[in-house]
Chain A
Amino acid sequence: MNVNFDIQGKQAEPSKPPKPVIKTKNLDFAYGDSQALFNISMDIFKKEVTAFIGPSGCGKSTLLRCFNRMNDLIDIAQIKSGSIRISDIDIYNKDVDVIELRKHVGMVFQKSNPFPKSIYENIAYGMRIQGVKNRSELDETVESSLRGAALWDEVKDRLNKSALGLSGGQQQRLCIARALAVKPKIILMDEPCSALDPVATAKVEELIHKLKKHYTIVVVTHNMQQAARVSDRTAFFYLGRLVEYETTEQIFMNPKNSKTEAYVSGRFG
């Protein structure tokens, strides 16, 4: 049962005109009194990899966490104005079920956070909380998710061992697999490789490449090369504002804004 993902280079631009899935309009966001995002408007397109770059504290994580309402956990966080629509539904509408939203929009964190359970249970967790009890169904999903995250071959013999015993890179891919298991359509990744060594980073990047075929991916990164390697589009943030948002090629080869140019060429940040 060999699966071959079609590894696409970013040169292979989709021929069809891209379709926006996340539409952010004039978003103002604040933590208590201090505003973190100013008037953000951007569209994120289906089955593309979008990279967020920018100096530390510029609001990348904040915006990312807005997309699946993880900011709800922070009491002082509030959207002051503007809207975010996913598949044409305003996700901050009262009617929206946050839980369903989060199943739809998965997230992978900067610091890998496997639960202190077995590898199998980590992956199955998302299914179990949805009430799936059927063992074969669970087995199937666990395997396909692990394969999807390119981890299957490494862990298939120790599925019942604790996930805390995996290496850092493996743990991160496990978290990606865990996110895949609930079958999201959008995956948000907040600096997924910041704690990893180059080899593990390469593996995760490769994985992002593969996943692009089926998922819309937003990835926050501090690593310019990484952004250049994996993303189709890149957004540059500065002090809570979206400075420039273009195709990756454009941003890196031909930035319009001088700040962007300075940042991507490593002259500041």
Chain B
Amino acid sequence: MSTEDLQPKDTSPEFSKRRVVLFGKDTDSIIKGFFGCTATVAIVVLFLITLFLIKEGSGFVGQYQTSLKQYRLSGLEYVDILKERREDHTALMQYLSDIKAEWINLLKKEGLTQQAIFKKVMSPESKAVFLGYSRTSSDLRRFIKDKMDAAIEIRDQQITNDNLQETLNNYAKKITEVEDYSFKLSEEDRAEFILKLKEKVRAQSFDADKLETSKGLIEGLKSGVALDTKSREIYLSLLRDEFLATENRIQPVIFEKSILKVTNEQQRYFEILNTLEADMKAILLKSDSIELDNNNLESRMERFKELNALFFTSIPEHKTQIKEWDQNAAVPLSKSLSSFLTGKDWITASDQQDWYGILPLLCGSLIISFVALCIAVPLGVGAAIYTNQISSPLEQNLIKPYIEFISAVPSVVIGFFGVVVLGEAMRGLSQLEFLAWVPFFPIQERLNTLTAGCLLALMAIPTIYTLAEDAINNIPKHLKEASLAIGATPLQTTFRVIVPSALSGIISAIMLGFGRVIGETMVVLLCAGNRIKIPEFSDGLGVFFQPVHTMTGIIAQEMGEVVRGSVHYRALFMVGIVLFIASLIINVSAQYVVKKYNKMDS
């Protein structure tokens, strides 16, 4: 071998002509095109998610508006106004029976026998108060029930009409289709055709000759082939019959008229209210004769009277509200959106009005996230500082992968653990006698905000830990050295130099942890208790022991049962959009925090 091989030969260079493979493109541009296509597909599909969510969710506004319109037209709204006083009365009754229960308890503690207690509580005077009070509202209740039934009837008639109208439209469409000569029978059509034919034959409503042919007809029918003239005629006549039958079943609702069934008898209602007021006042007078013998109870009784007084003062206003209610008041489109965003009820599949208000779910999600972050932030950030700054290298090498590994634990497993172990443990703990002094113990529900929050904290810790540790790790070594060199202790260095400079990273870690928590589904579905109600913040710390429902949980729970295109279906998509936007905001602001601080550094 010689180096002559290496020497370039003096031939004319080969680069003068470009190689062309296909359509004037060389291999490289073809490959580039291929990658470009895939990338476009991937990116387009990812953006499709946003579009699809918005498309499915946006129908909600209109549909919910229709639903709210019907609510008003059918008088259900009117009935709901009537119901307000009833609810108030129920609450008052509850208050009174609470007093009674407490009284019995007190008497028990005093060591009285069962009989003595019974004698006291069931004495004629107290009986007159406790039982009499609950009887005062029976007329009111009966009246409201009647009105409600009337309103529901109107609404149901309207819904039936809507459904029939839709069927009618389908028939009309079908008829025009069949009239076209190129119409081909599909498998479904064929089955339907035969079924109807048989029905008719059974009903003997065909001419004799048609009847005879029908058997042959059925055999001759094939799907996917154009119909012959005769079959078409028969099919069409069948369809037209159906069309007429359906049309006849529609009995249009005239709301102005039918509403009268609901709104009549206002005068009687006012009378009922007046008697109610009189009865209640009479009973309240009697209440002084009960010997409660206890300051606390007596003050509660006083309070009860005050509440009653409030109830009485609200009645005139109630009356004007009823008089002024207007069936034809407009329901603007914005009303539907605002009642979604600020609605306090999420009630579905009820026999009255369905409500889609996101507040209870949003509150549930937020309060659970709050609990989770309260636990996860100190633990996650503390662990990050510890491993990065204080621990030995060996510890570091063990702890880091370990905590990272926790992040891979499936949420459903954590949720399962919560149901089986943590929930039980919390209940057991709260029932221990020596912990009875803790307020809210024993807890009512083992699955509540705190249970779910604790478990979510476990999920958020790895996220917060990993990102915060990264942020701390990225602080240049020279900062630390400089601080140590002027005689600061390692811990001072950590807290005065390192942590402040990593603060933006740590904050963004916490935010991403928040994103993880608020988007988590399975844990809250399994462990949050799933009660759709705005938590009662008036309970103080007890609010953390209430069961709640969440945005993610509601989608998971209800999505399987909804009808495509219904208001409910779209409402769930709206919740999805809210979640989507929330996660975007959290993500973007986390990035913003990092970016802004980084700029300030440099």
Contacts and interface: CB of A to CB of B under 8 A. Distances in A.
Is A in direct contact with B (CB under 8 Å) within the complex? yes
Interface of A: 1, 3, 5, 86-87, 89, 91, 94-101, 103-104, 140-141, 143-145, 147-148, 180, 183-185, 214-215
A89 to B, nearest CB: 5
A96 B17 CA distance: 5
A94 B18 contact: yes
Interface size, B (range): 10 to 19
A148 B2 CA distance: 10
B8 A215 contact: yes
Contacts of B12: 87
Given A91-B15, A140-B5, 19 more contacts: A3-B2, A89-B15, A89-B16, A95-B18, A96-B16, A97-B14, A97-B19, A97-B26, A101-B13, A104-B14, A104-B15, A141-B5, A144-B2, A144-B5, A145-B6, A183-B8, A185-B13, A214-B6, A214-B8
A30 B29 CA distance: 25
Contacts, number: 62
Contacts of B5: 140-141, 144
A183 B6 CA distance: 6
Contacts of A91: 15
B267 interface: no
B2 A101 contact: no
Interface in B1-48: 1-3, 5-8, 12-19, 26
Nearest to A96: B15
Contacts of A140: 1, 5
Contact of B3 (A89, A94, A144): A144
Contacts of B8: 183-185, 214-215
A16 to B, nearest CB: 14
Nearest to B17: A95
A147 to B, nearest CB: 7
B3 A87 contact: no
Interface in B135-193: none
B3 A97 contact: no
A27 B7 CA distance: 31
Nearest to A210: B3
Best-buried of B6, B13, B15 by chain A (most CB within 10 Å): B15
A126 B203 CA distance: 88
A147 B3 contact: yes
7 contacts: A89-B13, A95-B18, A96-B16, A96-B18, A104-B15, A147-B3, A184-B8
A101 B16 CA distance: 8
A3 B1 CA distance: 10
A228 to B, nearest CB: 27
Contacts of A87: 12-13
B5 to A, nearest CB: 5
Nearest to A86: B13
Contacts of B17: 95, 97
A148 B15 contact: no
- 5 closest Cβ contacts across the A-B interface? A100-B15, A101-B15, A185-B8, A214-B7, A97-B18
A239 to B, nearest CB: 29
A38 B301 CA distance: 98
Contacts of A89: 13, 15-16
A184 B1 CA distance: 19
B208 to A, nearest CB: 85
B15 A3 contact: no
B2 to A, nearest CB: 7
Q: Which of B1, B12, B13, B14 has the most CB of A within 10 A?
A: B13
B9 to A, nearest CB: 8
